Amino acid sequence: MNDALEIVQGSVGVRDGRIVSVGAEPDEKWDRVIDAGGAYLLPGFIQTHVHLCQTLFRGSADDMPLLE
């Protein structure tokens, strides 16, 4: 998807385990081609669950009971 949340068709180039290009058919030749038409392609998810709000407000309510 692009920033306008439109599903786009295209190619993805991967080199040494990293995405190096996204878009139209690449000009260069690749060792391996996978036809993933009709499928979804997602990068690996790496620790997207964080507790930023707990870190930012740590200690701000230490003088209050937990359930109040």
Calculate the alpha carbon distances from 2 to 10, 19, 33, 41, 44 in Å. Answer: 12, 16, 23, 13, 18
Is residue 68 over pLDDT 70? no
CB 25 within 8 Å of CB 12: no
In whole angstroms, what is the distance from residue 67 CA to residue 14 CA?
Answer: 50
Q: Please tell me whether the overall predicted TM-score, pTM, comes out greater than 0.85 for this model.
A: no
Give tens-digit pLDDT for 10-58: 888 888 888 888 888 877 888 888 888 888 877 777 777 777 777 778 7
Give tens-digit pLDDT for 26-35: 778 888 888 8
